[in-house]
Chain A
Amino acid sequence: MKYDIVLCGVGGQGGISVSIVIAQAALAEGLAAKQSEVHGMAQRGGEVLSHLRLSDRPIASPLIPEGTGHLVLAFEPLEALRYLSSLAPGAAVITSSAPFRNIASYPPDEGLLSALLGLPNCRIVDAEAIAREAGNPRAGNIALVGAASRHLPLSESSLVQAIERCFAPKGGAVVEANLKAFVLGRKA
């Protein structure tokens, strides 16, 4: 078994905690995990990309070979379209619906939406609304993990434990909100 995920968004959206949650859950299930990201120059506001690979056998390349990825998990809808060449034909895109407009050339909503809907397998999740409902506006990322969780080769309980472990240093309220966001995202 192998499962390759492209995580992408805009600098400052906190995609790293998502990688860590998924990787920790994989480790707990005895899988190998390899993650690779680049945090470049004052990346805030720029494109950020991370590759996360899971497998029941040793993983070689830290980068996902073109045309073989299983999932794009995007924290921003425009960014969801940037790394499609990594995806295998028919593989899934799950993206947050909330645009991050910090460039003048940001495309109009309709164009973006129709490009996303034109993909063979795309799901758009209102992660911001879920995060608000969960009681922490920063929990949108974990809502997306929830939405992706039915695709991931990981059990719900190991993801839940990884979320608890990842957010424990930030206190009980943050853990609760993220768990709630995960559950709501999973239903979404």
Chain B
Amino acid sequence: MPMDILMGNEAIALGALHAGISAAFAYPGTPSTEIMESLQGFAARGPSAGPERLAAQWCANEKTAYEAALGASFAGRRACVSMKHVGLNVAADPFVNSALLRIKGGLLVVVADDPGMHSSQDEQDSRALAEFARVPCLEPSDQQEAYDMTRAAFDISERYRMPVLLRVTTRLAHGRSAVETAAPPGRNAHSKAEDRWGWTLMPHAARGLWKEVLAKYEALRSESEASAARERGDPLRAVITAGLALEYYRENEAELSGLPAGKPSHLHVDRYPMPYAAIREICATAKRVLIIEEGAPFIERYLRGILPTAIAIEGRESGEIPATGELTPDNVRPALGLGARAGQSAGAFELPRRPPQLCQGCPHLDSYTFLTEALTAYPVHSVNADIGCYTLGALPPLEAIDSVVDMGASIGMARGAAEAGLVPAVAVIGDSTFYHSGITGLVDLAAHGTSATILILDNSTTGMTGAQPTILPSERLSRIALACGVAEEHVVLLSAHKKDHEANVQAMRRELDYQGPSVVISARPCIEAMKKARKA
């Protein structure tokens, strides 16, 4: 069968294609973005109409993407929705509720977690959300498994009539290795889900469906038991690995044979619900059990509970492995009883850090420059910003913003700060983030006539994730503000150029002085997006 070097995200996209998906939806977010980018590549090379068409579309946010995927499943076809871990928070409402539905076409939700927070505001573990919703979760350990499990997920989804979550982490999503692929089966035909009460979550129906979910979840547990891999070793010492952590265990395995007690007994967990019986079995004679898992101490906490146990349970919560950040082949060694290894060093040479920066000539630089100057007239003020390249405005030399929390939070926070008397209050948000989660905040602002200024940095792209097109053209931003009820003279269009600096400062000051909601749109295309467009 064909073999190629694939990035984890490419392997997932190819697995979904080979599983016969008809529809895919996503919002860009590191480290998940390349899944949709690859799928769009496949879609462009496939038919543009008819039953073999693949719809692969960016959406306004993860919630709308999830709901679109649900609709495709409802129509009987296989569908995939992909996002980063914090995107699942945005999609949590449809995600949690979808567990209750009698899924028709296989539905896969791929979530890429970012332990170590390479490009995220937290390192939450999606296994916890899957369990919370009682959605089965698969956790591949390498790119080949990512491909295989993606394909298998659709079968599981259709067999159990449940959505399936595939959880990957940055190292797997953005790592490359050889992947062997297999021939795809055909596509599902259209066939609408005819059981209304499997898809209408009114209380009387949902009560019955929830019981079904709990029963299905227990049935799925037996699948987890069957796929958990056991290796016999020292009966007194057990190691449990999950997902990618397997690779860090394997890396050190050869040295473990050299320890006095030899290799420990080993259990690898590759899917959830948790395989209770397999875990009990491996721990039956153990005095100590070490859990190596990427992300939160999810399995460890299960085992530990809150009452004392006869077995010493070690992992990220107990401190044997660092509680935060990514696993490495080195930071699991002390817990395995292996010593540290030293490499070379540059001696006394002082190595300065090189933090990420806005690109040379980035339009955000000009926007921050006029905003900061306009604000010098107001010793007390707040600038609540948002998620995007412009988040870098927090770093020197700009140091122009006071907070960054989640997609769209800038507007809600500026509004709350203003209502609490902290004025002038400015929300700084990009066009893509505004479409994602800013519009509802603007509705609140307009509804209450709050004195806050939204500064939309309109670069006509989603810059931080590699310049994906913004969901709607920029011209519509001002019309949205008007439609929400912001007064026409307080919807202000500026151009983010150095030559307009003075005029921009004056315009910004006028809006900061205004007692009411205002929207300032500072527009100039992203340099990277323009480069990308020229290449295409």
Contacts and interface: CB of A to CB of B under 8 A. Distances in A.
B29 to A, nearest CB: 12
B484 interface: no
A42 B392 contact: yes
Given A36-B171, A40-B118, A41-B118, A59 B177 contact: yes
Interface in B332-349: 340-347, 349
Contact of A63 (B4, B171, B359): B171
Contact of A34 (B175, B344, B392): B175
Interface band, chain A: 35 or more
B343 A87 contact: yes
Interface string B431-474: 00000000000000000000000000000000110000000000
A82 B351 contact: yes
B177 A38 contact: no
Interface residues of B, number: 52
Contact of B176 (A19, A42, A44): A19
Contacts of A40: 30, 118-119, 356
B40 to A, nearest CB: 17
Nearest to A36: B175
Contacts of B347: 115, 118
B351 A35 contact: no
Contacts of A24: 5
Contacts of B184: none
Contacts of B119: 38-41
B464 A37 contact: no
A63 B174 CA distance: 12
A62 B247 contact: yes
A102 interface: yes
A42 B252 CA distance: 34
Contacts of A44: 356-357, 359, 528
Contacts of A106: 352
B421 interface: no
Contacts of A63: 171, 248, 328-329
Interface in B198-249: 244, 246-249
Contacts of B250: 60-61
Given A41-B30, A84-B343, A107-B349, 19 more contacts: A23-B5, A24-B5, A32-B177, A34-B177, A35-B5, A40-B356, A42-B357, A42-B389, A47-B353, A60-B253, A65-B252, A65-B341, A67-B343, A79-B354, A81-B351, A84-B344, A84-B346, A103-B355, A119-B346
